[in-house]
Structure 1
Amino acid sequence: MDGPEKKKAWSEVVDFPIPGRTNKPRIKGLTMVIDKGLGLVSTEELLNVAGDYIDYLKLGFGTSALYDEDVLVKKISLVRSCGADIYPGGTFFEVAWLQNKVKDYLKYAWHLGFSAIEISDGTVDMGYEVKRNFIAMAKDMGFKVITEVGKKDLHDMPDLNKFIRQVKKELDSEADLVIIEGRESGKDIGMYDARGNIRKDDFAELLLNTYKMEKIMWEAPLKKQQQEFITLFGPNVNLGNVAINEILALEALRVGMRGDTLKNTLSAGEFLQCVLI
């Protein structure tokens, strides 16, 4: 799917209301998409429509173990051909760790063609030093490394101070990206309350005590979360766990082509005029 850049429809007619959106290959404003089992034809169709807006594609949880090998290899190749990285979900890594097979897991992932690996401990307790060693191992093998902070179960989440310390440690590691856990639901987990709203006090405390924000990716599966992060950080904030059918909708939010972020570009007079029409 490589080749000359294609002309976008409407590009000579209207400008994006929010300027400055980065193009691929991006180092910021990354979008990570969660794939729960698209076939090859559907994957190709997805990339034809939305490939320019996918930076990372995650084969959720351990779903990549359920593919026929030849299908998985073709799918990985398809995704990489559009300039996106692809990796198996972090839970799969945790299974490999529980079975003492991490080295074999990484070798086979490389053999299949995966370009990135997630090192997580969302369900298991492995300790930071163990995790850091696996991050270094994966980097030495040539992978881009994504690490995740936070637990899958709310009852297992560390207190805020410990959580912030973990984020800072992982930002200082060799990992390329540090994901803040949000799961697919975006509710009652990590920085989100039971309704999917950002816990303002916790979020403010995290921002005040961390750095290297360009390495953080916020799992934000819900539109209101995506909107809030874009409003706070601009169009080039890293967002993850985006559903396949929401990729273009998120990109429209980033560039002001949805009312939710377009309104932020209006002057008070323009906004009032829109409300009164």
Structure 2
Amino acid sequence: MNYNLKQVPERPSKPRDVGFTMAMDKGLSNRQVEDFIDSSGEYVDIVKLGWATSFVTNKLKEKLAIYKEAGIPTYFGGTLFEAFIIRDQFDDYRKVLDKFDMEFAEVSDGSIELPHDIKCEYVRKLSDQVTVLSEVGSKDAEKIIPPYQWISLMQAELDAGAWKVIGEARESGNVGLFRASGEVRSGLVQEILTKIPFEKIIWEAPQKAQQVYFIKLMGANVNLGNIAPNEIIPLETIRLGLRGDTFHHFLNSENL
């Protein structure tokens, strides 16, 4: 930090297991990646190349190398996994992970119908190859999953070998954990937290109000994902109580 302030939440250093920030790269140029890392890299724990953008990204290997040189791991979005699965190309997907030297992979079923035992088997198989992030929730706004089922799905995927589970919201933040308006399904979130440890969940929260909700509920070191590159530093200030939304949240008034 550039100067000293009292009563600022402590943030663990990287690599960290909590207070995890996942940024979404939806098609940055390699020059933009370099600028992004220069400005915000120390606050980014992992980068997702959104949905199947890696299929059409120019100079993909070079982009991945820039992130790797900065010590920031990357992974391909879960929609790419689903695109391979629906075409019966799972072995080809595994070869792609090897070809690009990927250390992480996302398993999801937000766009396809996949029996849950089969999904868990994919988690198990990929866990022998990479670190698996497993996403729960549908991209279909009409598909409402009850809380007990979210809990059951998350726990089964963790048991199958997922390192963390991701709560689905899309890059827009209006499905899954959220209503179409972007409002948090707070009852769902709090029900999940009665059974699943908060450090095992990455909550997709692309909108500021959503980030504020999770930070006020679980503290500065909640795991958040689908953060736009230009929102990384704003998010860090929210985590530290240095933006109006959380300005008083971490202060002990007796010591002011």
Sort the TM-score into its range (normalised by shorter chain).
Answer: over 0.9
1:243, 1:186 → 2: CA distance?
12
Instruction: Supply the RMSD in Å over aligned alpha carbons.
Output: 1.8
Q: Are 2:225 and 1:225 equivalent residues in the alignment?
A: no
Q: Are 2:78 and 1:78 equivalent residues in the alignment?
A: no
Task: Indicate the SS of the match to 1:87.
Answer: strand
The corresponding residue for 1:127 is 115
Letter in 2 for 1:83: G
The corresponding residue for 1:169 is 156
1:256, 1:213 → 2: CA distance?
20
The corresponding residue for 2:24 is 34
Letter in 1 for 2:69: S
The corresponding residue for 2:192 is 206
Structure 2 matches for 1:83-102, cutoff 5 A?
83-102=71-90
Provide closer, same or farther for how the CA distance between residues 265 and 214 of structure 1 changes in structure 2, counting only shifts above 3 A: closer
CA-to-partner distance for each residue in 1:51-87, whole Å, 9 max, x for gaps?
A: 111111111111100024xx11111111122222101
CA-to-partner distance for each residue in 1:177-206, whole Å, 9 max, x for gaps?
A: 10000111112x222123222222222222
Task: Indicate the SS of the match to 1:155.
Answer: coil
CA-to-partner distance for each residue in 1:71-107, whole Å, 9 max, x for gaps?
A: 1111111112222210111111001001111121122
Ranges in structure 2 where 5+ consecutive residues have no aligned partner: none
Q: Are 2:219 and 1:234 equivalent residues in the alignment?
A: yes
Matched residue count:
256
Aligned partners of 1:31 and 1:56 also within 8 Å: yes
Letter in 1 for 2:102: F
Aligned partners of 2:81 and 2:107 also within 8 Å: yes
Once the 2 structures are TM-superposed, how far is the Cα of residue 33 of structure 1 from its aligned partner?
0.8
The corresponding residue for 1:61 is 51
Ranges in structure 1 where 5+ consecutive residues have no aligned partner: 1-7, 272-277
- Identity, in percent, stands at 38
Aligned partners of 1:24 and 1:83 also within 8 Å: no
Structure 2 matches for 1:123-202, cutoff 5 A?
123-141=111-129, 143-187=130-174, 189-202=175-188
Provide closer, same or farther for how the CA distance between residues 63 and 16 of structure 1 changes in structure 2, counting only shifts above 3 A: farther
The corresponding residue for 1:274 is none
Moved more, 257-266 or 117-126: 257-266
Once the 2 structures are TM-superposed, how far is the Cα of residue 24 of structure 1 from its aligned partner?
1.0
Q: Are 2:53 and 1:50 equivalent residues in the alignment?
A: no
Aligned partners of 1:17 and 1:255 also within 8 Å: no
With structure 2 as the length reference, what TM-score do the two structures score? Answer: 0.93
2:50, 2:76 → 1: CA distance?
7
Aligned partners of 1:56 and 1:86 also within 8 Å: yes
